[in-house]
Structure 1
Amino acid sequence: MLETSARLLRLLSLLQAHREWSGPELAARLGVTGRTVRRDVERLRELGYPVNATPGTGGGYRLGAGAELPPLLLDDDEAVAVAVGLRTAAGHGVEGIGESSVRALAKLEQVLPGRLRRRVSALNAFTVPMLRTPDDRIDPAVLTELANACRDAERLRFEYRDHSGAATRRTVEPHRLVCSERRWYLVAWDVDRADWRTFRADRIVPKPPHGPRFPPRDPPAEDLAAYVAKGVSTGAYATEATVRLHVPLAEAASAVGILDGVLTAEGERSCLLRTGAPGLDAMVVHVSLLGLEFEVVDPPELADRVRTLRDRLSRALDRQDLDRPGGAPAAGP
């Protein structure tokens, strides 16, 4: 009986971790016959778990949606990871997620064995988070609606406000949601503009009804995270520039965030940064505040602005030195 119960738990764990299993795959994983798998599936159904079966050579078993969430089967490391993740998810990027995380954590901690509760408590007690709360949070219902449209390949209609506050109506074929440290972005094919676009999810106001369904397109890039990073850090600005950072790529990556620009390797001791800003003066400040040694690659006008700022700062320091007590008189106009 103990062996059978352990096998049922293992079977339930497999069904939770995989979208669909064939009978032979489950039999091989459990080390039993196909007949035993069918019998165990019937036992799970008797216990209230909705295990769906699809007949035929391409069929298999999957855990369907039920009235209640089945118990999660987690090993020690997984349980600790989930508990710590829930505790640190204090609403960063998604409105109201902090309260939901606290409720879920309370339920999880009730069933954690003592040894795991001590591990979680120690990790949280001696960890100080340095996470920034975004200014513009997104409603979880909106995020779910966007994700469902991506999953179902269904045209999406919404009102969108750009960075200046101007509102437009959009009809898109949603592809994927991409999340950064602070924000969520929707990558979608804009039907009216016949091109790929990236939208900040917190600026989207869905306008149902949605539809119809559409055949999925090839994505705009293999690495969607890099695609979005380029769009939000460079393409969204009137002025673009490339600078050479005189540090290894790994060191630059620790200082350059997704909103700062896109890094590419160049050599062992340098890398290139492609970035954007509202204008050349703002670009000089933006690159300087990265705190890394750099030189301008493009455009030449940016190098001229750097020289102008260098000369202005030098004159300011010269005047300060001359005005000190005991120094030479300050130069006239």
Structure 2
Amino acid sequence: MSRAKEPSARTAPRRARTWRDYRGYLYVLPALAVYLTFAVLPALHTAYLSLFEWDGVTLGSWVGLGNYREVFADPALRGSVVNALVLIVFFAFLPILAGLAMTGLLARHRRRGMGVYRLLFMLPQVVPLVAVGVTWRWLYGDDGLINETLGGIGLGGWARAWLGDFDWALVAVGLVGTWVLSGLCMMLFLSGVQKIDPQLYEAARLDGAGPVREFVSVTLPQLRGELAVALTVTTVAALASFDIVYVTTGGGPGEETTVPGLLVYRLAFSDGKVGLASALGVLLSLLILVIVYIVNRLSRPETPERSLRPGSAVRSRS
């Protein structure tokens, strides 16, 4: 005779949900309402406007994906995206390398006055970017501090109108972003160093590790999360840059420093092409989301595979 199978686990009867089970959502509603009103709805409205040819005043006409095709077909629009991708090197990679270098110098031995270091290097984050742009425009001027310094040390041949040079304008603007964001990266990494167990450094020193090996083997692996945050923030700053470019070069000379953020402003408020500006803004947002998603995927810590797959059962041998 075959015996009926007994259930491996008995499920408890479900009880009816009450208002107390949902009261936690009440705390989320104010923030959710603000987010939907000022972030989600404007984004959806921008995507809607990108399907029209509209000057912002008269009645718009439906063009479907025509604005998106124009973004890919227009060399000026494609060039602005390329310039933004180049700025990632100066806004993201160089600040992260500088932040890691400064962190490596300060992490081997805990020193007093770490708060002073953070304050000094975070000053560019406190100063408004418009003021930063005005200051660096003076530094890059013909009689600015940079050219005067080059002339004083015998390198006057290198002096030039940095922001007006077709070959160096984008590099000059990018270095401003490097100066602004290096302090932010350093602060993130120094905060991450504070949570590293000092015994790890002691063990590395007992094994004969030098400063470089200690940084590579101990400090850098422990800063994986901070590296992901720094790369995400700086990459978004590069792709969405507007203030520094607008104040320093205005997109010139020619279109050498034109970035999508500046071009969206021009198309919408100067050229009366709101639909085209919306399409460029939507594509820029999608590009940022894709890059952020890739960064977050690569920065996830590796987790060991589960020994049992979901839904699988261990069968006992009779």
The TM-score, its normalising length taken from structure 1, stands at: 0.19
The higher-RCO structure (CA 8 Å, 6+ apart) is 2
- Greater share of residues in strand: 1
- Greater share of residues in helix: 2
The TM-score, its normalising length taken from structure 2, stands at: 0.19
